[in-house]
Chains A and B, each alone.
Chain A
Amino acid sequence: MRTRIKEFRARHNLTQEELANKVGVRRETIVFLEQGKYNPSLKLAHDVAKALNAKIDEIFIFED
């Protein structure tokens, strides 16, 4: 899985900590999400996408 969280975060001028605060998770979770090392639940993916004003499939890209 690849994510575009970092790109969208930069567009919204948000730090990892600010995004974590918006979504209600720990900063480490945002770090691992950005690195594609953590597969989030549908709810978390939805919350991240909502915080970044984007659709889930714009943020999280699943590659075969």
Chain B
Amino acid sequence: MKDKIEIVAGILIAVAVLTTLYFYLTSVGHIGSGEISVAVIALILVVFAIYVLWDRLKNVQRGLPSKDERLININHKAGYYAFIAAIWSAVGVPMLSDFLFHYELEGSRVGSAVVIISGFVFAISYLYMERKGN
């Protein structure tokens, strides 16, 4: 039952993200490369979330648990890598921007970069470890 509640909650969150993205894109007026890149990044992360949910649903339908010891370990490891990436990107992104482009990034932009980078690191390391085994 808990597994099903988690899956339904995940689907609702994915739908909420897509709805928010739709309203953002329709209300922004001019759609430039910035808006498109935001939409693409959000879509990639939503597709990853849908893959994870579909994978869990597949197991629940077979009568197997949606997550087990191996998947919990993978989640912990991927979360750890994402945390490390978040810390380093919070320091590195403003520095790189300053060194390479002589442009001081606003705090909100740095925050967005940290969320995006840690999200991608989580997704990539999760998928890699899920395929690799350990």
Contacts and interface: CB of A to CB of B under 8 A. Distances in A.
Interface of A: 17, 20-21, 24-29, 32, 35, 37-41, 43-44
Contacts of A39: 134
Interface residues of B, number: 14
Interface SS, B side: loop
Interface of B: 59, 62-65, 67-71, 130, 132-134
A20 B65 CA distance: 9
B58 to A, nearest CB: 9
Contacts of A37: 132-134
A53 B64 CA distance: 21
A37 B71 CA distance: 14
